[in-house]
Structures are given as structure tokens and as C-alpha cells.
Amino acid sequence: MNGLKYQKSIPARFSAAAPTYDHYAEAQEWAACRTMEAAEIVSVPARILEIGCGTGLLTGKLADAYPAASIEAVDIAPGMIEHARKSLQDKQNLSWTIGDICKVILPGPFELAISSSSFQWVSPLGKAFTRIRESLASGGYLVFSMMLKETLHELQESRMRTAPQKPVLHKLPTRGDVLGWLDCAGYELVTHDVVDFRVEYDSAWGFLKSINKQGVTAGSVSFSQSLLNRVQLKRLAIDYDDYYSAGGGKVYATYEVLTAVAEKRH
């Protein structure tokens, strides 16, 4: 996404986070449930494409909800796919592809393409929308949840106060960006909403550890010219505890989550 040398690539970062991801993925679990609810608009699909399956959080729900469907799960991180494959080995209707959704060959046609908590990592997202559309059957749907620009804004603000010389460079897309890309890629928006989902953590250090274990650290929410050093991290943790207290020693962080249903335009 931005070629800075010290940063691990997206596949490397998520592969490394695979063993710890599920334990810390509270916001993603919530988003996966919302995505499943949104998908109820689609009458039982026979072929499903899942984009950015990760450890299989959404994949397992899909396999249970649509036991007769064949589900193609794609992810760019080999470690994530390996983890998902192992934990869902009892499900018969899953096949797995390692690769970038902007590049892999998608068999199709799918009645449903679905994704949860992944599109914020995909770049360029407009191109991915076009490729997914090409793999959809006539009248097929794209249903997804993804994190938007205000996600973890508390962390970005705290970082600006404590290390202003290392500002965040990369920002997640806005609702307007995403809806515009959908339109350009040839979808009709059926429904969408944006919800601020708040998660509480035991402390700022607990929060920082949690996002690290989810593979988020140094990602789009914290892209900068250089990583924070230990002293700066310590300052940030004190600032965060101070500004974003949820009471009882806890802190909070907000995830701005877009859930959308879009239909392939004729």
C-alpha cells in the first residue's frame, strides 16, 4: 500500500496474527453478524464468494447458514487461510484460494459475494469491486461490512498529540468514497448504514496489544514515516488512558462500520 521499508506487508502481518486474531476480534465478530443479517435479503444462494476470509470468522457462519451452497473463500494471507482451513475442516462445502482479490481468477458466477472487515485493506478497492462484479451472476449481490475513516480515531488523535512529528499518512476511505466506487463499478445500492461500534479495553496498553494481535498495528490506521519508539509509545499510552477513559480503569476505541448491500446493475 505504501512501500515503507520497515512495515510488514499485509499478507505477512495477517499471517503472523492468525493464531491470536480470533481472541481479540470483538469488533470483527460484531461486523460478521451484521453482514450475515444483511445477507438475508438474498434468497438462498447456490454459489458464494467470500473476500478476505481471514481465520474464517464469517466463513463458518456462511457454511452453517447455507449448507447446500458451495463457498469459495479468498484471502491474500497464506497463514490466515491455513488457520481457517484447519478450524473449519469439518465443513464440506468450502474451497480456499490464496491471492489478492484484485488479481486471482474467480470461477463464478456467484449469486452472492460477501466480505466482512476486509475491504478497508484492499487497494484499489474500486478495481476489486469491478472484478467481483464480473464474477457475479445476473442479479447477483455484493454484501459487506468494512471499517471507515473514523475507525480508531482516538488512536490517531492521541498520536497527533504525543508524536506530531510522525503523523498518520494513510487514511481509510469515507462512506462517500465507497459508495462512489460501487456506483462506478456498476452496482445499484440496495441498502446501507454506518454504525459507530465502541469496544472497551482494560487499559491503553491492552488496547495497543489487542490491535497488534489482530494484525492492525502499523496498518492503515497508523501509517507514518516511522514507527513510534518506546518513549513515544509510553507517552501515547498515558495520553490515551487520560483522554479515552470508559470508567473503572478501562478505555474505549471506536470502529466506524459501513454495512452495505449492492446489486449487480444490468
Kindly state whether residue 144 participates in binding ligand SAM, applying the rule CB under 6 A: no
Take residue 32 and report the three cell numbers written for it. Answer: 460478521
CB burial of 79-118 (b: ≥16 within 10 Å; e: otherwise) equals bbbbbbbeebeebeebebbeeebbebebebebbbbbbbbb
Instruction: Give residue 250's Cα distance to chain centre.
Output: 25
- CA 22 to CA 53: how far, in whole Å? 12
Measured from the CB atom, the residue of 207 and 239 that comes closer to ligand SAM is 207
Q: What letter represents residue 79's amino acid?
A: G
Helix ranges, the chain (H)? 10-24, 26-39, 57-65, 78-87, 125-135, 153-162, 175-184, 204-213, 230-243
- CA 155 to CA 151: how far, in whole Å? 9
Kindly state whether residue 57 participates in binding ligand SAM, applying the rule CB under 6 A: yes
Q: Under DSSP, is residue 1 helix (H, G, I), strand (E, B) or coil?
A: coil
Q: Under DSSP, is residue 116 helix (H, G, I), strand (E, B) or coil?
A: strand
Q: What letter represents residue 34's amino acid?
A: R
Neighbours of 73 (CB within 10 A): 26
6-45 mask for ligand SAM (x: CB under 6 A)? ----xx--x----------x--x---x-------------
- The residue from 61, 69, 75, 222 that contacts ligand SAM (CB under 6 A) is 75
- Shortest gap between Cβ of 236 and ligand SAM (angstroms)? 22
Kindly state whether residue 58 participates in binding ligand SAM, applying the rule CB under 6 A: yes
Measured from the CB atom, the residue of 128 and 236 that comes closer to ligand SAM is 128
- The residue from 36, 62, 71, 80 that contacts ligand SAM (CB under 6 A) is 80
Kindly state whether residue 101 participates in binding ligand SAM, applying the rule CB under 6 A: yes
Measured from the CB atom, the residue of 42 and 80 that comes closer to ligand SAM is 80
Say how many Å lie between the first and final Cα of the chain, rounded: 32
Measured from the CB atom, the residue of 130 and 232 that comes closer to ligand SAM is 130
Report phi then psi at 43, rounded to 5: -70, 145
Take residue 141 and report the three cell numbers written for it. Answer: 449481490
Measured from the CB atom, the residue of 75 and 111 that comes closer to ligand SAM is 75
Segment interacting with ligand SAM (CB under 6 A) among 71-79, 153-161, 220-228, 250-258:
71-79
- The residue from 30, 47, 71, 117 that contacts ligand SAM (CB under 6 A) is 117
Neighbours of 246 (CB within 10 A): 13
- The residue from 36, 42, 48, 54 that contacts ligand SAM (CB under 6 A) is 54
> Considering CB under 6 A, how many residues would be counted as binding ligand SAM?
25
- The residue from 26, 82, 100, 263 that contacts ligand SAM (CB under 6 A) is 100
Kindly state whether residue 244 participates in binding ligand SAM, applying the rule CB under 6 A: no
Residues that bind ligand SAM (CB under 6 A): 10-11, 14, 25, 28, 32, 51-54, 57-58, 74-77, 80, 100-102, 116-118, 121-122
